[in-house]
């Protein structure tokens, strides 16, 4: 499979001198396009810090980051416009859907292609396609407050996918859900990863979904250890869900 995102020896230190916090001490990670991996670790281990570095909202201290064959970071940013980078290369899914309350479902999704400079009509067309793929097209004209929690989460996933980013970062996307819904969301993300050839990293400490990951990174004290969860399907089962 083609490479989605690769991180080599990523280091992030908050502050300096005596008060320095070594949040990431040398993280290595690689996720292929179409693959979903889990990122777990105890509280304070550096999960959020890693996600923020990957999401280009905080600057790492050193290391190397590539998306596809594009070098994003190599001991310093290699792209001038981080906003455009986030808009075009990275999709975000949060703990809560965080939809824009004053935009209807279609425009919540269409906003991203619009920000990327597409016409309203084109952007809405792309949004509707995603809403159909996520089975919420029938709520296209509704306002976010009129949707159920599950519908909101689907719209949020559609928004993360609409610009066809090579990478999606999901921050505890199943935290507020019961296990049936949580597993459904992970299932959906797996389907979407394959359908849109996206590398998806899911940060979680949700015990219900951990067994579903074929690949899992466990981060402790700022260092990642790759592990295969017990009872998880082997690589041969790729494609089933």
Ligand X SMILES: Nc1ncnc2c1ncn2[C@@H]1O[C@H](COP(=O)(O)OP(=O)(O)O)[C@@H](O)[C@H]1O
Part in contact with ligand X (CB under 6 A); list of ranges 37-45, 72-80, 104-112, 233-241: 37-45
* Minimum distance from residue 197 beta carbon to Mg ion (Å): 28
Q: Which is nearer to ligand X, 48 or 232 (CB)?
A: 48
**Encoded tokens for 61:** 């201290």
Q: Which of 49, 163, 190, 212 forms a contact with ligand X (CB under 6 A)?
A: 49
Assess 59 for contact with ligand X (CB under 6 A). no
Contacts of 86 (CB under 8 A, 6+ apart): 55, 56, 57, 92
Q: Which is nearer to Mg ion, 13 or 48 (CB)?
A: 48
Cα(143)–Cα(101) distance, rounded to whole angstroms? Answer: 7
* Minimum distance from residue 39 beta carbon to Mg ion (Å): 11
Q: How many residues bind ligand X (CB under 6 A)?
A: 12
DSSP string, 77-121: B--S-HHHHHHHHEEEE-SS----TTS-HHHHHHHHHHHTT--HH
Q: Which is nearer to ligand X, 21 or 116 (CB)?
A: 21
Q: Which is nearer to ligand X, 81 or 221 (CB)?
A: 221
Q: Are 152 and 94 in contact (CB under 8 A)?
A: no
Assess 198 for contact with ligand X (CB under 6 A). no
Cα–Cα separations (whole angstroms), residue 31 to 26, 34, 36, 228 = 17, 9, 8, 14
Assess 204 for contact with ligand X (CB under 6 A). no
**Encoded tokens for 117:** 């400079």
Cα(129)–Cα(48) distance, rounded to whole angstroms? Answer: 31
* Minimum distance from residue 127 beta carbon to another protein (Å): 12
Choose the contact partner of 92 out of ligand X, another protein, Mg ion, none; CB within 5 to 8 A by kind.
another protein
Q: Which of 21, 84, 100, 141 forms a contact with ligand X (CB under 6 A)?
A: 21
Assess 55 for contact with ligand X (CB under 6 A). no
For helices 179-196 and 149-161, angle between their N-to-C axes, nearest 10 degrees? 20
* Minimum distance from residue 210 beta carbon to ligand X (Å): 15
State which residue has the least CB distance to Mg ion: 48
Q: Are 31 and 90 in contact (CB under 8 A)?
A: no
Phi, psi of 124 (to 5 degrees): -70, -35
Cα(182)–Cα(206) distance, rounded to whole angstroms? Answer: 9
* Minimum distance from residue 205 beta carbon to Mg ion (Å): 9
Choose the contact partner of 143 out of ligand X, another protein, Mg ion, none; CB within 5 to 8 A by kind.
another protein
Reported as type and span, the H/E element at residue 56 is: none
* Minimum distance from residue 118 beta carbon to Mg ion (Å): 34
Residues that bind ligand X (CB under 6 A): 14-15, 21, 23, 41, 43-49
């Amino acid at each position: 499979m083609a490479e989605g995102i690769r991180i080599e020896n990523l280091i992030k230190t908050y502050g300096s001198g005596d008060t320095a916090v070594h949040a990431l001490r040398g993280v290595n990670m690689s996720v292929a396009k179409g693959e979903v991996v889990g990122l777990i670790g105890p509280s304070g281990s550096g999960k959020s810090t890693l996600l923020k570095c990957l999401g280009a909202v905080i600057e790492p201290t050193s290391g190397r980051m590539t998306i596809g064959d594009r070098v994003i970071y190599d001991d310093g940013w290699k792209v001038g416009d981080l906003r455009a980078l986030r808009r075009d290369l990275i999709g975000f899914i949060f703990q809560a859907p965080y939809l824009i309350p004053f935009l209807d479902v279609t425009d919540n999704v269409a906003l991203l292609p619009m920000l990327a400079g597409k016409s309203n009509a084109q952007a809405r067309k792309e949004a509707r396609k995603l809403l159909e793929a996520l089975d919420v097209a029938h709520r296209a004209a509704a306002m976010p407050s009129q949707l159920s929690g599950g519908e909101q989460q689907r719209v949020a996933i559609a928004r993360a996918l609409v610009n066809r980013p090579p990478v999606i970062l999901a921050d505890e996307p199943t935290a507020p859900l019961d296990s049936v819904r949580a597993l459904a969301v992970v299932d959906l993300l797996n389907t979407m990863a394959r359908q849109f050839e996206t590398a998806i990293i899911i940060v979680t400490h949700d015990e219900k979904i951990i067994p579903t990951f074929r690949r899992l990174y466990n981060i402790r004290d700022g260092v990642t250890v790759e592990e295969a969860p017990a009872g998880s399907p082997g690589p041969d089962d790729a494609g089933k869900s």
